Structure 1
Amino acid sequence: MTETLVALDLETTGLDANRDAIIQIGAVKFRGERIEGEYETLVNPGVPIPGFISELTGITDAMVARAPALAAALPELLRFVGNAPVIGHNLKFDLGFLQKHGALRNNVSIDTYDLASALLPSASRYALVALAAELGVPLRDAHRALNDARATQQVYGLLAKRADELSLDTLSELVRLAADVEWGADYTFQDALRRRTEQGAAPKRRRAGAPERGLFAGGGAAAGPALQPADEPAPLDEAPLVEMFKPGGALAAQFSSYESRPQQLKMMRAVARALSGQRHLLVEAGTGTGKSLAYLVPAICWAAQSDWRVVISTNTINLQDQLMRKDLPALQQALPQEFRAAVLKGRGNYVCPRLFDAMRRRPVRTLDEMRVLAKLLVWLPQSETGDRSELTLTGPGELEVWLRLSAEDEGCTTERCATLQGGSCPFYRAKRAAESAHVLVVNHALLLADAASENRVLPEYQYLIVDEAHHLEAATTDGLSFVARQSELEFRLRALTGPQSGLLAQVVARVGSQLGVGQQAGLRHQTEGVAAAQAAVLVHVANFFQQAGRFALAAGDGEVGAYSRKVRLRDEARESGEWAEVLLAWDNLKNGLQPVVQGLQRVARAVIEVQDDGAAELDDLLTALAGVVRWLTNFNDQLQGIVEQADAARICWVELGPNARSPSLHSAPLAVGPLLEKHLWFAKRAVVLTSATLATDEGFAYIKKRLHAHDADELIVGSPFNYRENTLICVAEDMPEPAQGALFQRKLEQGLAALCIATKGRALVLFTSHAQLRQTAGYLRAPLERAGIRVFDQIASSTSRHQLLQSFRAAEHAVLLGARSFWEGVDVVGESLSVLVITKLPFDVPSDPIIEARGATFEDTFGEYTVPEAALRLRQGFGRLIRSKSDRGVVVIFDRRVRSKAYGVHFLDALPACEVRDTPLALLPETAALWLADNN
């Protein structure tokens, strides 16, 4: 770009342009890489600068006291900018403050956020600081206006070069799509396209409706020949496997930090024997065992030797990525056996070429649509997988667009992909690679979807290893649950109509042109009938969910606060007068949905008649119509099961959102054991379940009962860490009981503040409720920050969990406050995490419908169900502290019920053998600080 541009940044007293004020302006004028001038001024806002803004920017009231008011500063800024296009990061924010004073209303605007979102589709974050780091742009003292403007100018220059490198076809389509929406990147792409066409280049033309296979040309995982499983596979020879695990063996040669561990070798042998002997096995492998290699090596050797596929299921994306990006590629180098490995995810993880083409054909409706389409146009030619894990999607709007573009639609089949997309469909490619893989990595959700669909999702397999198996029951529950939301049903119904983009309008436009006058009138009559039925049923949708909300409100004495309420649909609840109103509203909704579904089926038949005449490009319309019919039918059937309680094996409830908003209806399976028994234990030759936390203090009896794993072999492999020497547990012996409410909270806050100051932070504090976390964070922030200790709060933070953990690791003295998701998956090695605080024992909420219903199936609900579940969760939390042999740390339990209640022994006995001290609150800070000083 050869014209003069101006990069602009403001610092303000807040985020609201109508209420807050500017405190600093910075601007950089440049042409190409040459800087033509800079402008910077502080601005007196006429009001005090909030403390957190001063902390963020370094700008204080004293600094702006003699600065010009905005009215005096603006003329100089306007002279500096002139008519030049203005560049900024999230530029709408800055322009909002200036344009309300009449400034820069007519200048072209360019937003580096939108540019980066399109040109860096896989960037970890799109904040200016993060982009500068990713692109190698220096940025010191961020949140000072001129520094940020300088960084914006350099980031823009690098992004503009990337725009110039795009293909002419991509540039042309970006410009075409942006014509219908206000998008902060369009000017840059228009300029790049103009210069390219001036050089004589021209974009390709493609037939309307034809899929653009070039965008989906990534190779994906190579599909090999089909497996030929041996009828009677020979057992594994363990001796060569043992050699691999020895010091100096194949694994030590491949993994630089590898160390031989007897616990790992013991687990490897057990997995090998389970596969060879066609036995089921439960393995608890303590932290530091190296269980991934302990099951991967025998699984690979078994699959390569027998040609029987081994499926490995994980719960988290992190572990799945570790296996596919690190462990399996390394083992392909280390092991003498040749094997193929692949990952298969649910359809919703892959972009659908048909839906992508359909969205590109119609006008862009929203900024989120434009951003996602731009990402895909840039990303797809580079991607080998078409897997959304490679993309960074920000906010619910972009995620909703992805859902409309993903291959989740079951109207698509692998056969359809092969025929219509020429094998370019990412999901088809992934499935084809899976069918030839010796080792197939999936997640629990897909594993259970395969079981629930009678094995129609995954390729045939008989050998299964489930890692993170402590999540198996919850994952099965989630996979077999259903929720009916008003917003989702209304979205599906409203997508049918619309003058241009509605499905019915597309049918009329694309099918009608191929019909005679009489047939056109008939088709229009059918689509108008569906539209009328849709308008009528939308009234019943609103009434039904309104009545459901009134029912939930009445069930709680008419009071609702800032938290959601769940009302289980027991027999007595279904006999109330409010529920009778729900039933009446349901009859109207059910009867209203029927003509919509029937009308769509008639429209589909009309399209088929044209299809038979050779109009094959209408296939996507047929698929879309079939998908809507299928979705509405399933929604109706599932909701009917909830309202009419058609299945006693399911738990049903109504949920009311905070402040009595967004009522929804839910159902979940009462027990998952029978499903696992049928589809795993009875159906597969060998199933291995492994986790760091499967057993309670009474062994595997609890997990076996929950999962119906009655005949599985058992193995507990201890951790190689010496907890007796590297961990101290302190129980606050004089804490009030949690039931004492305000007194407990006050003592917790005081005790935590003193403890964290004494240990100089370095603490992870685990809570069982967001409310308590929020209240405690409010108390702790001031005293800890005065002591130089940063407080990271899961609830107040606007960053992701990953970013929060990164910030905590990087801070020298910090405290991280986390709720349920932080009880596991936190891996902070070293002194940054030296103190783990358990605020309360992690009992489930007893009134939760699933917990309540399942608990009722036990003779002793508390002792047989509530305590074992909480003990397993405590073990998960405990495991956050010691992550390497060199780690040392203190666990502080503020819930003295581990000592004062008879059941408390089950919690302490479930933890590794450590030194346990009963410590008065007053001595906790000194005890923890001295122990850490003596042991580090």
Structure 2
Amino acid sequence: MPPLPAPSAAPASATPRLLLPEAPALVAGIGRATILTPDGEIETLPTAALAGRLSELPPPLLVHAPATARRLGLPPFPMAFDLLELFAFILPAQLAAPTPRGLAMVLEMDPPKDDEAAAILLPEIATTLLRRLASTRHALLNRDAGMLAARLRDASDWPWAPSLLAALGQPEARPGTDALKVWRRLPEWEETAPPTPPASIPVAPLEARRRLAEILGADAETRPAQADYASAASLAFAPREAEGHPQLVLAEAGTGTGKTLGYIAPASLWAERNGAPVWVSTYTRNLQRQIDSELFRLFPDPAERRQHVVIRKGRENYLCLLNHEEAVNGAMPSRLLALSLVSRWAAATRDGDMQGGDFPGWIAELFPWGHVAGLTDRRGECIHSACPHWRRCFVEHSIRRARTARLVIANHALVMVQAALGGGDDKPALRYVFDEGHHLFDAADAAFSAEISGGEMAELRRWLLGAEGGRGRARGLRRRLEEVTGDHPALLPLMEEALRHAGSLPGPGWSSRLGEPEEHDLDAEDLPGHPAKTNPGETFLRSVILQVFARSPEADIGYDAECDLRPLNPGLAEAGAALEDALRLIETPLQALHARLTGLLEDPDAELETGDRIRLDTARRTVDRRGLRPLAAWRGMLKALSDRAPEPGNRPLHVDWLAITRREGRVIDAALHRHFLDPTQPFATVVAAPAHGLLITSATLRDSGEGDPESAWEEAEARTGANHIASPAIRAAVPSPFDYPSQTLALVVTDVARDGPQAAMAMEQLFRASGGGALGLFTAIRRLRDAHYRMAPGLEAAGLPLYAQHVDAMDNSTLVDVFRAEEDSCLLGTDALRDGVDVPGRSLRLLVFDRIPWPRPTILHRERRTHLSGGRPKSYDDAIARHRLRQAFGRLIRRADDRGVFVLLDSRAPTRLLAGLPEGVAVHRMGLAEAVRETRRFLNGDRPAD
């Protein structure tokens, strides 16, 4: 963030002093814990004896209280000295893995080797943090820290408050709320002249090489492959020769090539010369953060980097200042600490990004759900220019900075949504770099799909009517437009007409009314046309449920289920027609409202003040995005219910199906889904074709298991949409510099059953053989949880901490940070940890798949397998599985000195799938006992015998 305004005079302070709590230091394992007592004695206790011992001691000093309690099988601590709370207060907007080792690394302390050392280290970490605060107590950021600590002391009895006040030299500070009201001190953005038209000066390959050399510096190692890649990437920055014919480059760069700086070199040079930004788009937040961190080479000065590099994400990723203000004004004591830590962070953050930016993800984990998550705009409730904080808004700042930046680091989802909206908040870019290009198909599939579900319809009703008596800031359309309708009362009847019909959408408590079909006796009396008054939205959902239960083979299992849309069940068409009529009654007045707002903006006789014009334009865009667009999509889907079923074998444009969502065996939602059969078609039309140049790149663009190189490129073009773009793609491939045959070992275990406890047993033995640094990947959450339950005690007893998605009280990014910092830890995850995770060095030296990651056998996959496989449906499945295995394998080797073992616990793994691993990697099939020995031997520096 830019500097905060000058502070008022700080309160008088005494000499700072250290005041450490008389607390036992507690470090958790699975089934045991290590305690450093206030008397300096080390105790290691089993879980069974721990609760009694802790009851005899003061509240403990620890790291991550919820995760500690969960690992020990204890109830939440009623009070604890959590070092993460202290860290977040004293060093806001600084990231650290939430473990003793992670905190020590950030504070430049010697990391602990074991639990005893960690317990001894905890008081030292507290001391270091408090000394840091004492030395910076006069800094601008800490001007209100004493008043805030005093407020936390008096209102919530926060145990760290006395220590903070002592370090600040303000033991008698009076409580205050100014530090919570951070929005008052944030800078405002100012309008600037529109940017001038960009030039079309190309970047020659030799120039890209020179820029790359400048970025790397004179002392960098020579990497010919990286320079070759930069040369190829520069071809995407040549001038466009015809409308709709962008310069398109498909470039595969093997892991270790230095791909990021390879394309940053020509991209930054083009942006600098032509006066327009290049948008670099990724699939994952992790890669966004990684690219941003690498740009220090191009812009070493933080202020210059902030000027020229902007990270763009959707609004739901950023702190909403209006949400924060309303939370602060109505804060209960139980929520005060969470809001205080967020306020401290908001005053120090670079750009207000709470999802993958400089906001530590573990802050949200320390508090009950919603204390922090509710501060972002997750439900699309932004009121834009009507918001009192609009000119301080983090999102609006980033939007305006992006217009004059050189590099915008975005993500596929935002790029595609903005393009679908005709530019949205950002003007369409002329030049794109799509990193993680192998995910373009999946990203387009999500961006250009639609669904009519209970959740989506209820959200539209909430946007129209507000919270309907519930808590929250759901204002409803009437309150959102009250300033506009006050100035232009002719708009009011149109708005009221739309609101009058909003009751046809699922109302409060709709989910609890769905139930199972037999509970509601879904017969003809429940369908439209019956004299009884029904809610068209809820009636349609019950009709969907009825058909899914009648047709789906999974309907009685208790999990989610789906079925084909056609042939339609009796009553579904009637229910759809009734809902379509109801939606039309909402859409028609909204269309008139939108047209009237547009007319006011375009009226040459209207003398509108700037504020009025902004409010009218905001209202018009909001009505279009939140109301008209979903209503038009839904009505189109419902009208299609009456269409004749397509002839078998004909290639459809869309795939439609019905589905239900269940939790704990109960139906909580139902939906009609529509996806493009080939989502790269709309991607090519609305994103790629209007651009002047695109670089689509990845380490795994091609299916290396394809015997024919030309077929491999054609498959890459189909998966990225290049085959739908008028101009032919320039193809380039740069091999990895890593020596995979000598740096890796690939094994298939042949004597372990895929189901039951054997896979967990095998994974545990392999994890022990590697001494940790192991990642276990599962294709099902249920098997992951079962494996964690079975593996955790033995691994912890061996001194190897085990963490897991869907088990530990941490989000994915926090888990990866912990795994990266704790060199001998182990991690279990699903496909979210297969891609975009960068863990170099010994922290990841073993990767184990529980089974072949085949695509899920869904209706959508069935149709794509049938129509997009070129008559080879099995090859279509094989290609997906090979891509996933290759992506996972790529996590193992991130540096030239890395060594790693890849293990597949699936004796059925066909050799043709393993052909997708890097060239020269031999796959060894063997029993578990031998695999354990070979893993241990290889990671100790020996090669297995062929």
- Give the TM-score normalised by structure 1: 0.71
Q: Is the 1:115–1:184 contact (alpha carbons within 8 Å) kept by the matching residues of 2?
A: no
Contact 1:761/1:789 (<8 A) preserved: yes
For 1:38-87, what per-residue CA distance to the aligned partner results, in whole angstroms no more than 9, with x for missing partners? 59899xxxxxxx995543655648997998997xx79xx9xxx9xxxx99
- Kindly report which structure 2 residues correspond to 1:451-600, keeping only aligned pairs within 5 A, or say none: 451-483=419-451, 484-486=453-455, 488=459, 491-492=462-463, 493-495=465-467, 497=469, 503=475, 537-538=507-508, 540=535, 545=541, 548-556=544-552, 559-561=555-557, 563=559, 565-572=560-567, 574-576=568-570, 579=572, 583=576, 586=579, 590=583
The residue number in structure 1 matching 2:890 is 879
- The one-letter amino acid paired with 1:321 is R
CA distance in 2, matches of 1:131, 1:886: 23
Cα distance in 2 for partners of 1:879, 1:402 equals 36
Does the CA contact (< 8 Å) of 1:841 and 1:895 recur in 2?
yes
1:594-637 Cα offsets, whole Å, 9 max, x none, are 799799999999x99xx999997999899689847963554544
1:22: which partner in 2? none
Matched-pair contact (CA < 8 Å) for 1:755–1:925: yes
Corresponding position of 1:726: 743
CA contact (8 A) 1:56 1:143 kept: no
Kept in 2, the 8 Å contact 1:219–1:384? The answer is no
The alpha-carbon deviation at position 897 of structure 1 amounts to 3.6
**Change in 2 beyond 3 A, CA 1:59/1:68:** closer
1:595 & 1:118 partners in 2: Cα distance?
51
| Corresponding residue SS for 1:477 | helix
2:681 is aligned to: 674
Contact 1:223 1:433 in 2 (8 A): no
Give the percent of matched residue pairs that are identical in Structure 1 and Structure 2.
Answer: 22
- Return the letter of the residue paired with 1:364: G
Q: Which residue number corresponds to residue 730 of structure 2? A: 713
Aligned pairs for 1:304-453 within 5 A: 304-307=272-275, 309-327=277-295, 330=298, 340-351=308-319, 359=326, 364=330, 374=340, 377-383=343-349, 385-388=351-354, 389-392=357-360, 394=364, 396-398=369-371, 400-404=373-377, 412=384, 423-453=391-421
AA paired with 2:199? A
Alignment of 1:221-236 (within 5 A): 226-230=195-199, 233=201, 235-236=202-203
**Aligned residue number for residue 265 of structure 1:** 227
Alpha carbons of structure 1 residues 485 and 88: separation in structure 2 relative to 1, 3 Å: farther
Contact kept, 8 Å, 1:789 with 1:814, in 2: the verdict is: yes
Instruction: Tell me: CA distance 1:543–1:93, structure 2 relative to 1, closer, same or farther (3 Å).
Output: farther
Structure 1 window deviating more from structure 2 (281-290 vs 701-710): it is 701-710
CA distance in 2, matches of 1:881, 1:160: 43
Q: Work out the CA distance in 2 between the residues paired with 1:619 and 1:308.
A: 26
Structure 2 match to 1:689: 696
Is 1:288 the counterpart of 2:261? The answer is: no
Letter in 2 for 1:663: D
- 2:932 match: 925
Q: How does 1:38-187 map to 2 (within 5 A)?
A: 52=30, 54-55=32-33, 60=45, 122=93, 124=95
Alignment of 1:646-657 (within 5 A): 649-657=654-662
Task: Work out the CA distance in 2 between the residues paired with 1:796 and 1:345.
Answer: 28
Which range is displaced more, 612-621 or 376-385?
612-621
Name the CA shift for 1:664/1:169 in 2 (closer, same or farther; >3 Å).
farther
Q: CA deviation at 1:821?
A: 1.6
Which one of 815, 833, 839 corresponds to residue 828 of structure 1?
Answer: 839
User: Which residue of 640, 661, 676 maps to 2:667?
Assistant: 661
Matches of 1:163 and 1:592 in 2, distance apart?
61
8 Å Cα contact 1:352/1:405 also seen in 2: no
Task: State how far apart, in whole Å, the 1-side matches of 2:33 and 2:471 are.
Answer: 51
Aligned length: 827
State the distance in 1 between where 2:29 and 2:290 align: 42
Query: Residue 700 of structure 1: which of 713, 733, 742 is its match?
Result: 713
Is the CA contact (8 Å cut-off) linking 1:652 and 1:668 kept in structure 2? no
1:732-811 matches, cutoff 5 A: 732-733=749-750, 742=755, 745=756, 747-811=758-822
Offset of 1:424 from its aligned partner? 4.0
CA contact (8 A) 2:316 2:377 kept: no
Corresponding residue for residue 253 of structure 1: 217
Distance change >3 Å, CA 142–CA 597, structure 1 → 2: farther
Q: Is the 8 Å Cα contact of residues 548 and 658 (structure 2) preserved in structure 1?
A: no
* Partner of residue 17, structure 1: none
Task: Provide the secondary structure at the position in 1 that maps to 2:722.
Answer: coil
- After TM superposition, give the deviation of residue 296 of structure 1 in Å: 1.1
Which secondary structure does the structure 2 equivalent of 1:700 belong to?
helix
Q: How far is the alpha carbon of 1:542 from its aligned partner?
A: 5.7
Structure 2 CA distance for partners of 1:583 and 1:142, relative to 1, 3 Å: farther
Alignment check: 8 A CA contact 1:275 1:302 kept = yes
Paired letter, 2:774: A
After TM superposition, give the deviation of residue 239 of structure 1 in Å: 3.8
CA RMSD of aligned residues (A): 6.0
Residues 708-762 of structure 1: CA distance to partner in whole angstroms, max 9, x if unpaired? 31321211111001122222322335566x5xxx4xx555445434444444444
Cα 1:639–1:172 change in 2 (3 A) is: farther
Aligned 8 A contact 1:604 1:625 in 2: yes
Give the conservation status (yes or no) of the 8 Å contact 1:286–1:718. yes
Tell me: CA distance 1:349–1:51, structure 2 relative to 1, closer, same or farther (3 Å).
closer
Query: Alignment partner of 1:454: what SS?
Result: coil
Q: Residue 350 of structure 1: CA displacement?
A: 4.2
C-alpha deviation, 1:364, in angstroms: 1.9
Tell me the distance in 1 between the aligned counterparts of 2:429 and 2:333.
44
Which one has more relative contact order, counting CA pairs under 8 Å at least 6 apart? Answer: 2
Mapped partners of 1:39, 1:873: distance in 2? 48
Bigger CA radius of gyration:
1
Which residue of structure 2 lines up, in the alignment, with residue 276 of structure 1?
A: 238
Structure-1 separation of matches of 2:186 and 2:590: 34
**Residue matched to 1:14:** none
Q: Is the 8 A contact 1:142 1:148 kept in 2?
A: no
More divergent stretch after superposition (918-927 vs 545-554): 545-554
Q: CA shift at 1:656, angstroms?
A: 1.2
* Distance across 1 between alignment mates of 2:717 and 2:505: 51
Confirm or deny: 8 A CA contact 2:775 2:826 kept in the other structure: yes
Structure 1 equivalent of residue 3 of structure 2: none
Structure 1 counterpart SS, 2:742: helix
Question: Which runs of 5 or more residues in structure 1 are unaligned?
Answer: 1-30, 43-49, 95-103, 205-210
**What's the counterpart of residue 860 of structure 2?**
850
The aligned counterpart of 1:98 is: none
Residue by residue, what CA displacement relative to the aligned partner does 1:298-340 show, whole Å, maximum 9, x if unpaired? Answer: 2222333344543221222232233334325535789x99994
CA distance in 1, matches of 2:614, 2:825: 58
8 Å Cα contact 2:323/2:376 also seen in 1: no
Which amino acid in the other structure matches residue 567 of structure 1?
A: E
The CA deviation at 1:448 is: 0.9
Report the CA distance between 1:266 and its aligned residue.
Answer: 1.3
**Alpha-carbon separation, structure 2, partners of 1:555 and 1:691:** 41
- Whether 2:187 is the aligned partner of 1:217: answer yes
Query: Structure 2 matches for 1:874-913, cutoff 5 A?
Result: 874-899=885-910, 904-913=911-920
Secondary structure in 1 matching 2:298: helix
